[in-house]
Structure 1
Amino acid sequence: MSSESVRGPSWAQFDAEWYRSRYSGQSEEFAGADTDALETHYMTEGKALGFSPNRFFDEKWYLTANPDVASAVRHGGFASGFDHYRLNGHSDRSPHWLFSEAYYLSRYPDLTRSTLDRLGLINGYDHYLTYGDREFRSGHLFFDPRLFYSNALLTPSDTGDTDAARPATAIPELGPFATFLGQPAFGSTVRVTWYFDPQWYQSTYPEVIMAVQDGDFENALHHFLTSITPQAFCALEWFSEDYYLELYPDIGNAISGGHVRSAYDHFVRYGALERRKPHPDIDLLEYFFTGTVRADIENGLVRDAFVHWLSRRHIRARDADASRPELKKYEGLAARKAESLIPLLVRHPLSFTSKEAPSLSVVLYVHNRLPLTLSTLAALRTTVRGSIEVIVVDAGSRDDTRYLEQFAGGVHIVRLAQTTTRPEALKAALPYITTDTVLWLGQGVRLEHGAITAALSQLSAQASRRSGKPRAGIVTGRILRADDRIQEAGTIIWRDGSLGHYMEGAALEVPEASFRRLTACGTVPCLLISRALIETLDGFSPEFASEAGALADFSLRAAEKGFATLYEPAMIATLDVRDADAPSYDTADMRTLRRRHAAALLDAEPPSPTLLMRARTAGKKTRRILFIEDRIPTRRLGSGFVRSNDIVRTMAALGHEVTVAPIYSSTAPLPAIYADFPPEVELLHDRNYEVELDRLLQERSGAYDCVWIGRTHNLGRLLPILMGHASCLPTGGIVLDTEAVTAPRTALRAELLHLPQTGTVSEALEEELSCAWLCETIVAVNAVDAAVLRDAGYDNVAELGHLCPVRPTPATWSDRRDLLFLGAIHEPDSPNHDSLIWFIREVLPLLKDRLPDDVRFTVAGFLGPAVDLSALGRDPRVELIGPVADTSELYKTHRVFVAPTRFAGGIPFKVHEAASYGLPVVASDLLCRQLGWRDGLEIVSGGTNDPQRFAARLADLYSDEELWTAVRAGSLQVLADENSEKSYMARLSQILQNVFANSDRSSR
């Protein structure tokens, strides 16, 4: 013990002063005893009495939590629970009721065994007490160090102890956890976690106060976390044990099986992250999508929606009780803000002077209202940093616009008579335009950051496309009103000549306004136009009184010449103040538009809200696909979501309009979601379609040519809704994408894990495909699954695997080292989770004498909230690094990819991806068969559930440069032949053409 106190971890040291204070009532001799005497007492008597050696180890709790240890102590195997922990238990057990070794290592995956070894630390608790506590890391779900610190600052101590009088000042130096243990009364007086309310707890259960006073428990939190009847006590007002169990009856099995202590234990560990309902009055799913909740969780401010609700429910927005002001009030504020620019720009004028050739010409039509002109020019100068030429056409202003040169230098001003119309203004500006692109801009329109860059890139990209596709001659954008609501996200021209501002009044971020598409026109003066198109069409027509009519007419005439109008959502601008004196679009303009474009309007939709989905996209009629998946299939999710992402991308590349509707609302950060998809795809990320699909199909009745349903279980759960809207669906165009046939996989898993079989594979397959009769097309991911489906009696089977273009990294065999596993693990006991545990426990030890000692095994990839890999990280050769943004860095530095999957369905994308980067793979025989790859040629087979075989073949691939090079070349060649972008696009196109043909036949 003495040697440990000199060089051991904090939890192993004997704390004489704490021991004296804690057990002073046990012996009068403690008051005058020195350190050696107290330590001798602990060694000779204290252990037998169940005393703890220091505040960091709780002997009584440890024995209660570990009945096997308690039994060993009773039978003389160990002198105390502390001796067991010091000798063995520290590797995988927790020493204190307020610290969890598993939670700490899981929350901070950087603390692998190899990391702890480098720091000279014994376990996670050693790291916590040495570094983590003072770094304000958390060692338990029920101890939030920052919350404790903030509350301790506000809570004066009621003890007479001078050191205790200002506890919060010592926290950064001592650490929150160490401070808390030094004054356990905090657990009854100060809230140290949002998951437990000590005041409510004690007022609700007064017997707790008596139990603490009697010395049975240290404080109220200690009582809650260690009570032998956890289901009898609720931690706070806003959780109901009975309600949760009734709502989620599956939790009862977890409790009876000893996996969780109570319903609340399950909720805190899993349910809160899944946004389950903790109380009849709290809907966490709905709350998640309100205000800044989602962003706060994404930014790490809180762990989950429940903590957010608890910590912020009393905070009310300043305008919470105020109704939303009328739009004119926002416009009034915008006008005043614009007026404030005048004194600023008098002293520091804007400058558009440049020696470089301009890349863009801006034509700004103005009439009086100088402040709005300055606001537009100031935003333009801020938004476009390069050289531009600005041509201001002044239609006879009588205010201080006459002195515009004093506020903006380098601007060419064309002054015309007061009666000048906008068509005349554009013609007057043409002689001064020197660039190929013109931005037609109006007073009071402020461009946002990146708007012009986004619009210019699309105009040039569309112009360079091959003939046969619509070429964009006009780009319009997402126009906001002064109240930050949408004015228009493109405008619809209906068959009667009326105009519909798409998504008017909606929030800026709505998914329906966040994807790129062709639109009929834009009616707000913020349009990027090809100069050649302006000249071809001789500008705007003077036949229209309103600017909206002239712009709609211009877009229709452009369409006749083969030029489309493109809606670019990243081209964001705000119309601060509408021109009240400008003519509005009226019946006269409608009649003129109908007369001039009678033939074109015959192809437009009648003005009905039910046809909005069809009408929002103009030009050539595209095929519309509703793509349904478990989640928005971002690539970071791995598994089959990468394949779904590739399918959506390819559908968009084929020119189809794709709407992605997830069953579960997405929790991923919005930038990550949008970055993973083409901008032409509509991503309905903010809805739960297990509930809202009914409304979606009703609103978009008859709009889709194909409904592509990913995963068989989704077809089953949505079948009643689909049947309820059968008349509005393309019944010949419903596709079931199985992603993986699970019945054989489930049977194999049961066989491997010696689980009871509830039926035959044929029976399981029949149940799995019980709803497949609805679909005229069934998609299998590989030839093995396709054969299973055909054997089950389905002839309408198509095969579509993965898209995986080759992109080998140049690093050679000698440039690389270490082993790599990269794959998503969404839940415990999934195929990837099982295979990883099997490999680390069964195979990795066999490699000790076959590979150099310094070879490491890197584990990377997405982890679901319920997945804990910390136990695997105890092996010093294992590096747990979690999700990785750029996987290519891993593929180019490691020598061998490991895929030891024992049961699975479909095709393992992780193997395809690794091989595509030129990283050879050793895989289970199951995966080799699913891929159709040959051992020693395109892959190395590790056999079937055979650790010795797997270890031997892995060592061969790692050590034999010739074998390594041959397998690398073989896998790259087969991928180039079978999984290239060209072949994938052709395969999916053929499937869709057959689907559309079936859909067209069914609609006749």
Structure 2
Amino acid sequence: MTLTVDILTAFGPGDEPRAHTPLWAVFDPDWYRARYRDAVIEMAGSLPDDRGLYEFWLHNGARYAHSPNRYFDEIWYRRAHFDVENGIRMGVFDSGFQHYCETGHRGRSCHWLFSESDYFSLNPDLTPSMVRDMGFANGFDHYLNLGQTERRVSSAFFSPDIMRRELQQRRLGGDLAEGEFTRFILSRDIGTIRTSWYFDPVWYLETYQDAVAQIERGEYASALHHYLSNDNPTGYLPHPYFDEAYYLGRYDDVAGQIANRVLRNGYEHFVRFGLFEGRSPAPGVELPPYALAGGPPDWQSISSNAFIDHIRREGEEAETLTIAPPSLGQLAHLQALRAETLLPLLARSPLDFRYIGQPELSVIVTAPAIFPDLLQTLVSLHESGVGDMQVIVLDDAGRDNPMPIERYSYGVEVVPQLEGGLQQGWLRAVAQVAAPRVLMIEAGACLFLGALSDAVHAFAEQDVIAVAPQALGFDLRVMEAGLTVARDGACFPAGAGAAAFSESVNFARACDGVSGGAILCRTDTLRLVPVPAHGVETLRARQHIWAALSLALRKTQRGARMLYVPGFVLRVPDREPVSEALLRQEMPVLRQSFSDLLRGNPPHRPSDAAAIHRPVRWGRRVLVLGRKPDAAARGEEIDRVMALGRYFVEQGMQASFFLLDGGQEGESRPGADPLRTLLPELCEYRRGTKAALETLIGQRRRGFDVIWIMGGNTLNAVFPILHDHAASLPDEGFILDLRRIEALQRRQDAQAPTINQPPVDEKTFDDALAAEIANAWFCQDLVVQNAAQAEILEKAGLNGLRILGDDLPVNQGAPYEQRHDLVFAAGPATQPGYSLKFLKWFVRDVMSRVNARMPQRVRLFLACDDTRSRELSMITHHQNVASLVEGQVGLANLSATCRLMIAPDERPGFVSLARQQAGGAGLPVVIGGEHGFPGARAVTLDPGQFAEAIISLYQDQETWQRLSDEAMQQARAMSQTYRETLAGLLGQSMVKEEMRD
């Protein structure tokens, strides 16, 4: 029960106190007396007291478009909502305020600087029903009382961060707890302050003198108020970077909307839509379009985009000078200066490496050429946060002055290197190692925060004996992302020259070792490394010494792996060049000493440095090809790709995923795609054009054993590449995954949630299906989701189909009595489709019936991965629908805590993966249609019957438990089928490969 049902009328002096009154409904006598003094005197003959003013406004002022306070703008409300203006003229309403109190407050805006609808779309953790439950009348009421102090936003023309910065720069006081919106509305001294990059108040007042005069007369409060409220919307410009006449002349569709009063002016269209559609704001200015996934822009897109960059560059902030990036020499000099500054700081507060008992990690630091380099390494070790650490420093006994290490640190052990060089020094230091893992690191190398934690985590795999880092130079470009040693003894670092964490290096993989920087290994394995054999002890090139150590570690344990981990990142100093003559002289030492390890490696250094050698002995190599999924299938496609990634890694395979998305070759887009963060780190992940795929296949000639293709249309897109590069690909091992058939998806979406379904155009469906599977003959194996799909495809001419199903991990959720509410798998749901039609029908026609008969309130959660969907945001406006933010906890979590799932009916050949995943958490489902499933109660799409099915199952624990058990049993059976089928597919391919070899 909300507190607002009785207060949607004005509240003035002398009225009875109320539990809560919206600020927009409170009459302000002081402001009203100052604002309408002359009008009141003219009509009433004098200025009444506060109560008299309130009575005057109620009976006279409101009808003459007087506002009761600064928060409700009567004139603006009438102009913005012309149907209200017409209603007042016809006598339906006395004023806009009356309309707003009766109906308008439920979704309309009453102030020129606040948008009711945008408030909820820009703050997806709020819904109208939620703020009403909190005791507020609507979003504006919530914003005035609470939202503005939480720094929430609702209009592109008002950014609290920009206003606060302006207040601080101008040294204007104010109560920070008051909220910037109230400060701006109530104050008369800040009318020229900037509140947004979309409007320039100083330029506006300098340009339009008539606006200045109107503001001085009190008709408008500020320049922004005048621009957003004047009666000639297209006659004024917000700043010199938007041309209203140009915009309306170029875009006829906008001019038509203005004529119909859908929009106020061209600039409103540009700020809300045109900017993100790539429309031009002025002659000679072209902007790129933005990908908004079908929904409205979020605040990040509104407050940071190409148009704002253009304004800042051309206007308020002068164009900055182009500064050339510093050279490596300059960066090295800065690094040396930083090292010098550490000396006095550490002299006052030495680093403390003392420990009690067994340390968690031992560190061996090579002898430093320059003592400050050692201090930088020690500082980065001290800040690593991995617990107690034993630090051993090799000391070159030949130096004239001993290292003054005791002046700058406590607990560091010093071991003389003596004769025999680095390798002998390592052997002496290993004898003193006390921890189960040891980090060997060069003096001058600096670990990034969290790097050691990522490296230690890699030892969870039992066959991993050592971890190689992502080594960056002073310019933060990759110097080495793991080392490969060719069969002839040549060493070449992977990823050299690439940007840090770019697609080519941002995945874990087996490698031969390192050529310097650092290496983390198991202590027991390091102690098994024998004294350097004849020839190895004579190595002088540093990269060969470190490579020999890496190979010797791997030689101690057959089948052991050294893993490159991108999160194990450190900055290393520039390496002194080594003569090619010395490298060629020492190469035979490596190939003779480690010939058994190098037999499967490339015969020599590759000409293409971007190629990554991945020998089959480190696991069979699989390339998964997919396309960027459309909004309707994004969630399911991601889940299926993740399941494949998990399986491939569990089976020790080397998995590479390539997503065709139209991007540019070589682009690195960290954070832009959820797959990179959701896939196991051991999976390589790339996105790009078909040209980028072609380049990858060329670099990995015969570098893949299995090609897994996600969908018939993906195969159609890459077929020319696979056909033309057949010599670089396996002869067999092509698997076409047809678990999602797009023709079936479109057929499902064409249905509407009604009892009488419209007939399906079978000819159109058959043609679309035939085109989708036209190149299926190219693949040796075809997999589908279920028997109904197999039957449909067999009729279309395919044979030899295997039912794969899906991986549905069983996760026992909460028991019946601890579960509450309903869940719907909305996914992105940003495009019109059957699921979205069903959801609208359900909240409109079914949800109210459910709550009318339930003893306790039941809410509907929308499991989604994107809060920017306009369609879903509008659905949350319905009562008892949770906010989108609450739905972002994920379907798995909601399935474990909700009592029922709601789903539309499923046509033959189409099965909802989300429904089956929910079944793995023991969640029964009420599903539309006549096709029953284990764990589901099917019911016709009639609002009354659907509601009745939900109510009865929600309260019937015995039936609920039976369906819950059925759903989990089905999930277990499908997961077992999934793994058995995959094992059969890949096991068959393995036999064929062995026979060829």
Question: How would you bin the TM-score normalised by the shorter chain?
Answer: 0.7 to 0.9
> In the alignment, which residue of structure 2 is the partner of 1:681?
683
Does the 8 Å contact 2:10/2:26 carry over to 1? no
Does the 8 Å contact 2:156/2:303 carry over to 1? no
Q: Distance in 2 between matches of 1:40 and 1:341?
A: 74
Q: Number of residues paired by the alignment?
A: 960
Name the aligned partner's letter for residue 862 of structure 1.
D
> In the alignment, which residue of structure 1 is the partner of 2:643?
646
Overall identity of the aligned pairs, in %: 27
Local SS of the residue matching 1:878:
coil
**Which of 112, 127, 131 is residue 97 of structure 1 equivalent to?**
112
Instruction: Please report how far the alpha carbon of residue 490 of structure 1 lies from its aligned counterpart in structure 2 after TM superposition.
Output: 0.8
**Which of 975, 978, 983 is residue 984 of structure 1 equivalent to?**
978
Local SS of the residue matching 1:955:
helix
Instruction: Please report how far the alpha carbon of residue 971 of structure 1 lies from its aligned counterpart in structure 2 after TM superposition.
Output: 0.8
Relative to structure 1, the CA distance from residue 723 to residue 268 in structure 2 (aligned partners, 3 Å threshold; closer, same or farther) is farther
| 2:793 matches 1:792 | no
* Post-superposition CA distance 1:497-537 (Å, at most 9, x none): 33222222333332322211011220105223445555554
> In the alignment, which residue of structure 2 is the partner of 1:851?
854
Does the 8 Å contact 2:788/2:908 carry over to 1? no
Q: Distance in 1 between matches of 2:486 and 2:600?
A: 9
**Which of 948, 969, 974 is residue 970 of structure 2 equivalent to?**
974
> In the alignment, which residue of structure 2 is the partner of 1:546?
541
1:520-535, aligned counterparts within 5 Å? 520-531=512-523, 533-534=525-526
Relative to structure 1, the CA distance from residue 826 to residue 696 in structure 2 (aligned partners, 3 Å threshold; closer, same or farther) is farther
Instruction: Please report how far the alpha carbon of residue 692 of structure 1 lies from its aligned counterpart in structure 2 after TM superposition.
Output: 5.8
1:695-734, aligned counterparts within 5 Å? 703-704=703-704, 708=708, 710=710
Instruction: Please report how far the alpha carbon of residue 974 of structure 1 lies from its aligned counterpart in structure 2 after TM superposition.
Output: 1.1
1:937-952, aligned counterparts within 5 Å? 938-943=935-940, 945-952=941-948
**Which of 620, 623, 646 is residue 622 of structure 1 equivalent to?**
620
Local SS of the residue matching 2:791:
helix
Name the aligned partner's letter for residue 161 of structure 2.
R
Does the 8 Å contact 1:479/1:487 carry over to 2? yes
Instruction: Please report how far the alpha carbon of residue 962 of structure 1 lies from its aligned counterpart in structure 2 after TM superposition.
Output: 0.9
Q: Distance in 1 between matches of 2:435 and 2:312?
A: 53
Name the TM-score, length of structure 1 as normaliser. 0.81
Does the 8 Å contact 2:654/2:682 carry over to 1? no
| 2:9 matches 1:9 | no
Local SS of the residue matching 1:504:
coil
Local SS of the residue matching 1:542:
helix
Relative to structure 1, the CA distance from residue 348 to residue 109 in structure 2 (aligned partners, 3 Å threshold; closer, same or farther) is closer
Relative to structure 1, the CA distance from residue 704 to residue 765 in structure 2 (aligned partners, 3 Å threshold; closer, same or farther) is farther
Instruction: Please report how far the alpha carbon of residue 615 of structure 1 lies from its aligned counterpart in structure 2 after TM superposition.
Output: 1.8
| 487-496 vs 407-416, which moves further | 407-416
Local SS of the residue matching 2:854:
coil
Q: Distance in 2 between matches of 1:264 and 1:724?
A: 51
> In the alignment, which residue of structure 1 is the partner of 2:46?
32
Does the 8 Å contact 2:618/2:654 carry over to 1? no
> In the alignment, which residue of structure 2 is the partner of 1:508?
500
> In the alignment, which residue of structure 2 is the partner of 1:482?
474
> In the alignment, which residue of structure 2 is the partner of 1:563?
560
Relative to structure 1, the CA distance from residue 786 to residue 235 in structure 2 (aligned partners, 3 Å threshold; closer, same or farther) is farther
Q: Distance in 2 between matches of 1:619 and 1:52?
A: 79
Instruction: Please report how far the alpha carbon of residue 547 of structure 1 lies from its aligned counterpart in structure 2 after TM superposition.
Output: 2.7
Name the aligned partner's letter for residue 844 of structure 1.
M
Relative to structure 1, the CA distance from residue 768 to residue 32 in structure 2 (aligned partners, 3 Å threshold; closer, same or farther) is farther
Q: Distance in 2 between matches of 1:611 and 1:580?
A: 18
Q: Distance in 2 between matches of 1:184 and 1:340?
A: 51
Q: Unmatched 5+ residue regions in structure 2?
A: 1-7
1:801-812, aligned counterparts within 5 Å? 801-809=805-813, 811-812=814-815
Name the aligned partner's letter for residue 861 of structure 1.
C
Name the aligned partner's letter for residue 977 of structure 1.
A
Q: Distance in 2 between matches of 1:531 and 1:129?
A: 62
> In the alignment, which residue of structure 1 is the partner of 2:838?
835
Q: Distance in 1 between matches of 2:223 and 2:970?
A: 64
Q: Distance in 2 between matches of 1:190 and 1:32?
A: 36
Relative to structure 1, the CA distance from residue 723 to residue 26 in structure 2 (aligned partners, 3 Å threshold; closer, same or farther) is farther
Name the aligned partner's letter for residue 985 of structure 1.
R
Q: Unmatched 5+ residue regions in structure 1?
A: 156-165, 289-296, 465-470
> In the alignment, which residue of structure 1 is the partner of 2:446?
446
Relative to structure 1, the CA distance from residue 797 to residue 201 in structure 2 (aligned partners, 3 Å threshold; closer, same or farther) is farther
Name the aligned partner's letter for residue 573 of structure 1.
L
Does the 8 Å contact 1:555/1:564 carry over to 2? no
Relative to structure 1, the CA distance from residue 439 to residue 508 in structure 2 (aligned partners, 3 Å threshold; closer, same or farther) is same
Does the 8 Å contact 1:558/1:564 carry over to 2? no
> In the alignment, which residue of structure 1 is the partner of 2:4?
none
Backbone CA RMSD of aligned residues: 5.0
Local SS of the residue matching 1:628:
strand
Q: Distance in 2 between matches of 1:691 and 1:231?
A: 47
Does the 8 Å contact 1:521/1:565 carry over to 2? yes
Does the 8 Å contact 2:753/2:841 carry over to 1? no
Q: Distance in 1 between matches of 2:562 and 2:364?
A: 19
| 532-541 vs 845-854, which moves further | 532-541
| 913-922 vs 820-829, which moves further | 820-829
Q: Distance in 2 between matches of 1:176 and 1:543?
A: 72
Relative to structure 1, the CA distance from residue 169 to residue 439 in structure 2 (aligned partners, 3 Å threshold; closer, same or farther) is closer
Name the TM-score, length of structure 2 as normaliser. 0.81
**Which of 886, 910, 917 is residue 921 of structure 2 equivalent to?**
917
Does the 8 Å contact 2:601/2:615 carry over to 1? no
| 951-960 vs 449-458, which moves further | 449-458
* Post-superposition CA distance 1:311-346 (Å, at most 9, x none): 865899999744333334433443443344445555
Does the 8 Å contact 1:255/1:261 carry over to 2? yes
> In the alignment, which residue of structure 2 is the partner of 1:766?
767
Instruction: Please report how far the alpha carbon of residue 827 of structure 1 lies from its aligned counterpart in structure 2 after TM superposition.
Output: 0.9
> In the alignment, which residue of structure 2 is the partner of 1:293?
none
**Which of 811, 814, 819 is residue 816 of structure 1 equivalent to?**
819
* Post-superposition CA distance 1:444-463 (Å, at most 9, x none): 2333444444434434x34x
* Post-superposition CA distance 1:685-736 (Å, at most 9, x none): xx66489666666666765555555466666777788788787667976666
Relative to structure 1, the CA distance from residue 627 to residue 514 in structure 2 (aligned partners, 3 Å threshold; closer, same or farther) is same
Instruction: Please report how far the alpha carbon of residue 562 of structure 1 lies from its aligned counterpart in structure 2 after TM superposition.
Output: 3.7
> In the alignment, which residue of structure 1 is the partner of 2:3?
none
Local SS of the residue matching 1:139:
coil
Q: Distance in 1 between matches of 2:365 and 2:113?
A: 67
Instruction: Please report how far the alpha carbon of residue 370 of structure 1 lies from its aligned counterpart in structure 2 after TM superposition.
Output: 3.1
| 247-256 vs 272-281, which moves further | 247-256
Relative to structure 1, the CA distance from residue 287 to residue 484 in structure 2 (aligned partners, 3 Å threshold; closer, same or farther) is farther
> In the alignment, which residue of structure 2 is the partner of 1:147?
162
1:336-735, aligned counterparts within 5 Å? 336-345=337-346, 349-366=350-367, 369-383=370-384, 385-401=386-402, 403-404=404-405, 407-417=408-418, 419-433=419-433, 437-459=437-459, 461-462=460-461, 464=462, 471-531=463-523, 533-534=525-526, 536-540=528-532, 541-556=536-551, 559=554, 561-576=558-573, 578=575, 586-596=583-593, 600=598, 603-604=601-602, 606-610=604-608, 612-615=610-613, 619-620=617-618, 622-630=620-628, 638-654=635-651, 655-661=653-659, 663=661, 669=671, 675-684=677-686, 689=689, 703-704=703-704, 708=708, 710=710
Q: Distance in 1 between matches of 2:793 and 2:398?
A: 75
Does the 8 Å contact 2:517/2:572 carry over to 1? no
Does the 8 Å contact 2:395/2:414 carry over to 1? yes
Relative to structure 1, the CA distance from residue 648 to residue 564 in structure 2 (aligned partners, 3 Å threshold; closer, same or farther) is closer
Local SS of the residue matching 2:883:
strand
Does the 8 Å contact 1:495/1:605 carry over to 2? yes
Instruction: Please report how far the alpha carbon of residue 567 of structure 1 lies from its aligned counterpart in structure 2 after TM superposition.
Output: 1.1
> In the alignment, which residue of structure 2 is the partner of 1:291?
none
Instruction: Please report how far the alpha carbon of residue 90 of structure 1 lies from its aligned counterpart in structure 2 after TM superposition.
Output: 1.6
Instruction: Please report how far the alpha carbon of residue 954 of structure 1 lies from its aligned counterpart in structure 2 after TM superposition.
Output: 0.6
Instruction: Please report how far the alpha carbon of residue 19 of structure 1 lies from its aligned counterpart in structure 2 after TM superposition.
Output: 4.0
Q: Distance in 1 between matches of 2:725 and 2:243?
A: 38
Does the 8 Å contact 1:284/1:305 carry over to 2? no
